[in-house]
Amino acid sequence: MSNPVKLKFSEKYDEDHAKQYFLKHQDGVSRKLSHYRDEQMARDALQKAGDPGLVLDLPCGAGRFWPLLAEKPNRIIISADNSPDMIKTAIDHQSPNVVSRVKPLHTSAFDIDLPDNAVDCIFSMRLIHHIGEPAHRLTMLREFHRVTRETVILSMWVDGNFKSWRRHRHEERRKAQGKQGDYQNRFVIPRAVAEAEFEQAGFEIESKSDFIPLYAMWRVYVLRKI
């Protein structure tokens, strides 16, 4: 891909911000409980994806899911991120036993530096809700379709729950106050829109799971390549 998409929010992930990101999910009881639930959902999604043996973790961030991905003893883990500082932070702060299982890769989700059908599964947690442009989401999903042989696991914000309703109310108030021009880097994607984009990119939905049904925005999809 000659002109990969570049997201404005990704520019902030320098070394200091990467370290803050690593510490964020360990800060306080609520963050730890949230991380525990994220792990539950991710573990369940991996099982539904057939416990893949070769996984691309993209974006890997500060390696938050490396220990979970390493639970399967013979799994090969390629951990990729657009930020080299994120990858370095993960290597510096995660357990050496886990780090030894990981093959790092500096690449973009919109232009993945791997051949066609390179992995069994792409594991993409907390990325697509940063992508507000449908064309950009479709570019990424088609790149995922190219690189995976079988499945994609991804998490995103969806509508149809209390938190999305409350966020919509908040955004409407901001518009009324003339703040609609403020930069946004996180988006609620309507479920019908997301699922139509999955189909357009060449996937069918294997499963979907909500963080807290009817309350929280987070949903994890398992998509199967068709």
- Which contiguous run of DSSP H or E holds residue 151? strand 148-157
Is residue 43 assigned to a domain?
yes
Structure tokens at 198: 């999955």
Is residue 173 assigned to a domain?
no
Is residue 168 assigned to a domain?
no
Is residue 190 assigned to a domain?
yes
User: Residue 4: its pLDDT value, please?
Assistant: 62
User: Residue 31: its pLDDT value, please?
Assistant: 87
Structure confidence at residue 184 as a pLDDT band (50, 70, 90): confident
Structure confidence at residue 171 as a pLDDT band (50, 70, 90): confident
Q: In whole angstroms, what is the distance from residue 4 CA to residue 106 CA?
A: 14
Query: Given a cut of 80, is residue 220 above it in pLDDT?
Result: yes
Number of domains composing the chain: 1
Q: Residue 22 in contact with residue 179, Cβ under 8 Å?
A: no
Structure confidence at residue 163 as a pLDDT band (50, 70, 90): very high
Residue with tokens 């702060």: 93
Is residue 25 assigned to a domain?
yes
Task: Give, in order, the Cα–Cα distances in Å from 219 to each of 125, 153, 177, 209, 222.
Answer: 10, 11, 31, 6, 10
Residue with tokens 């149809």: 160
Is residue 166 assigned to a domain?
no
**Helices within 49-117 (DSSP H only):** 66-69, 84-93, 96-99
User: Residue 185: its pLDDT value, please?
Assistant: 84
Query: Given a cut of 70, is residue 226 above it in pLDDT?
Result: yes
Once rounded to an integer, what is the mean pLDDT over residues 110-122?
98
Domain holding 59, by residue range, is: 13-157+183-223
Residues with Cβ within 8 Å of residue 132, at least 6 apart in sequence:
184, 187
Q: Is 80 exposed, middle or buried (0-12, 13-18, 19+ CB in 10 A)?
A: buried
Task: Give, in order, the Cα–Cα distances in Å from 51 to each of 121, 152, 153, 162.
Answer: 9, 12, 12, 32
Q: In whole angstroms, what is the distance from residue 19 CA to residue 40 CA?
A: 24
98: left (phi over 0), alpha (psi -120 to 50) or beta: alpha
Q: Report the candidate in 67, 151, 146, 150 with the shortest Cα–Cα distance to residue 102.
A: 67
CATH of the domain at 194: 3.40.50.150
User: What is the rounded average pLDDT for all residues in the chain?
Assistant: 90
Task: Give, in order, the Cα–Cα distances in Å from 70 to each of 52, 97, 118, 150.
Answer: 12, 9, 19, 19
Q: In whole angstroms, what is the distance from residue 165 CA to residue 195 CA?
A: 19
- As a whole-number percent, the residues of the chain with pLDDT over 90 amount to 78
Structure letter (DSSP) for residue 116: T
Structure confidence at residue 150 as a pLDDT band (50, 70, 90): very high
Q: What residues pair up with 123 in beta bridges, in sequence order?
A: 57, 153
pLDDT tens digits, 4-16: 676 655 555 566 6
